[in-house]
């Protein structure tokens, strides 16, 4: 061993740790074991874990289980990390041993070493503050890591929800702007009865808003339910009397979030179904936003040989070979994000279902997938709203032509001549290349003035 390393011990024996490292033996082993994704832990998870440690130190001091000076040192170390210090000391790959124990111990070791240092000790001594005995007092990875995951997910949901609300608002505004523009509806990708472009866009707004409502409700009512205090199996074994109530009282103040304890700790330690529900709610958002983007791309298709009912903002050239081509790039990006989020729901569902006996061990995967998807959804929604939706224009004249050309207008003839005769008019219009209005007049179905009124698309849109 050189001067650049110190020797620490864990249950498996001696470990060389860099002499200036704030992490310890378990972190070193984890880094050596898990060279998988090449990524470090998500900052959101580290923040939430540190917040749990700060709240736990306060709670243990309140109930007399931890001395005031040690609790204060842990809390001060925690606030230093929350303020951005020691960020380079959190190293463990998200793909690691189950339950998040490796990342959890990484946090315990860093806080213990910094707290020891504040109390005059040296790195790696743990003579005043021990990672397990003090920083982790009354806790287990089985309740701490899921609690931190839930805190991080709830916090990250707020900007996602805000971005989606803004997106829905912009879709609604476009709907209001297009309220009087009538076009042909399309079902099964075939001509249908008239509709206004405004009603279509207001429907898009409602789709996004309803999916967002479900996401917000799931975050507030389901994910904010915490297993803290349950320790290893949910029984609370190893936690000092009064600890659970005290830490639940401290956490909202430390995190700034509305959180509450689970009513059945044994159930929540073994079942991460709430997190699966949140993944499903995000998938619901992705399905809604993805469908909107699919429609926008089709409605903007062209500009010469497609529908071209709307014009999307031009943001970049679309081809390396075809000059002047512009693609619906923002919608394509959003579609890809929605596909990623939809796929992540399946990964989370598998991780949730992999809980055997008394706990679910796949929490690191659940946390990584949920937080990644929240980030992607937020940025995609913001970009879609800012660089696409707010600048959409409608081609009123082209839409009017579609409305009058639609064979679906034959539906308006049913009260006059019945379904079968109206179908004959529609077929003849298609075969002859004429409008339903022109065929109906030629065949004397009704006077011209009456046909003008009966077959006016705006009347039904």
Catalytic amino acids?
319
The string of DSSP letters for 378-440 reads HHHHHHHHHHTGGG-EE-HHHHHHHHHH-GGGGGGGHHHH-HHHHHHHHHHHHHHT--HHHHH
The string of DSSP letters for 129-171 reads --IIIIITTT--HHHHHHHHHHHHHHHHHHHHHHHHHHHHHHH
22/117 Cα distance (integer angstroms): 10
Q: Nearest Cα to 250, choosing from 66, 7, 38?
A: 66
419/117 Cα distance (integer angstroms): 86
DSSP H/E element including 249: helix 243-255
* Cβ–Cβ under 8 Å, residues 104 and 47: no
* Cβ–Cβ under 8 Å, residues 394 and 310: yes
For strands 5-10 and 13-18, give the pairing: antiparallel
In the block, tokens 């004249």 appear at 397
Burial letters 225-245, b for 16+ CB under 10 A, else e: bbbbbbbbbbebeebbeebbe
Backbone angles phi, psi at 455, to 5 degrees: -105, 15
Total length of the chain: 461
Q: Nearest Cα to 146, choosing from 448, 317, 361?
A: 361
398/287 Cα distance (integer angstroms): 29
Kindly state the tokens that stand for 333: 């990006």
Asked whether the bond before 303 is cis by omega within 30 degrees of 0, the reply is yes
Backbone angles phi, psi at 20, to 5 degrees: -100, 10
64/191 Cα distance (integer angstroms): 75
């Amino acid at each position: 061993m050189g001067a650049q390393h110190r020797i620490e011990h864990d249950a498996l024996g001696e470990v060389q740790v860099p002499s200036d490292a704030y992490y310890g033996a378990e972190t070193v082993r984890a880094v050596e074991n898990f060279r998988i994704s090449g990524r470090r832990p998500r900052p959101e998870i580290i923040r939430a874990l540190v917040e749990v440690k700060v709240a736990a130190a306060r709670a243990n001091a309140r109930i007399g289980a931890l001395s005031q000076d040690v609790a204060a040192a842990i809390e001060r170390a925690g606030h230093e990390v929350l303020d951005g210090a020691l960020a380079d000391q959190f190293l463990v790959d998200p793909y690691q041993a189950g339950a998040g124990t490796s990342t959890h111990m990484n946090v315990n070791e860093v806080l213990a070493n910094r707290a020891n240092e504040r109390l005059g000790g040296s790195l790696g001594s743990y003579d005043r503050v021990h990672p397990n005995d003090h920083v982790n007092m009354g806790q287990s990875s089985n309740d701490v890591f899921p609690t931190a995951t839930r805190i991080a997910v709830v916090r990250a949901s707020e900007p996602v929800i805000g971005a989606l609300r803004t997106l829905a608002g912009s879709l609604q505004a476009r709907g209001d702007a297009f309220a009087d523009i009538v076009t042909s509806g399309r079902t099964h990708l075939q001509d249908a009865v008239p509709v206004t472009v405004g009603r279509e866009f207001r429907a898009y707004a409602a789709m996004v808003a309803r999916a967002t409502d479900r996401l917000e409700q799931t975050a507030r009512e389901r994910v904010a339910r915490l297993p803290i205090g349950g320790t290893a199996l949910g029984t609370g074994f190893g936690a000092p009397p009064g600890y659970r109530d005290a830490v639940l009282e401290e956490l909202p103040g430390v995190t700034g979030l509305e959180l509450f304890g689970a009513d059945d700790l044994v159930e929540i330690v073994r079942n991460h179904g709430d997190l699966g529900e949140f993944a499903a709610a995000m998938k619901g958002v992705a399905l809604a936003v993805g469908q909107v983007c699919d429609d926008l791309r089709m409605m903007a298709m062209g500009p010469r040989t497609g529908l071209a009912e709307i014009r999307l903002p031009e943001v970049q050239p679309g081809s390396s070979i075809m000059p002047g081509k512009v693609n619906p790039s923002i919608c394509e990006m959003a579609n890809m994000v929605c596909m990623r989020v939809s796929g992540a729901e399946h990964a989370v569902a598998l991780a949730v279902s992999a809980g055997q006996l008394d706990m679910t061990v796949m929490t690191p995967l659940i946390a990584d997938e949920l937080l990644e998807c929240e980030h992607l959804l937020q940025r995609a929604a913001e970009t879609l709203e800012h660089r696409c939706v707010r600048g959409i224009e409608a081609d009123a004249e082209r839409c009017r032509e579609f409305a009058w050309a639609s064979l679906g207008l034959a539906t308006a003839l049913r009260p006059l001549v019945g379904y079968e005769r109206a179908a004959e008019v529609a077929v003849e219009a298609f075969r002859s290349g004429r409008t339903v209005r022109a065929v109906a007049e030629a065949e004397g179905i009704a006077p011209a003035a009456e046909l003008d009124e009966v077959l006016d698309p705006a009347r039904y849109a």
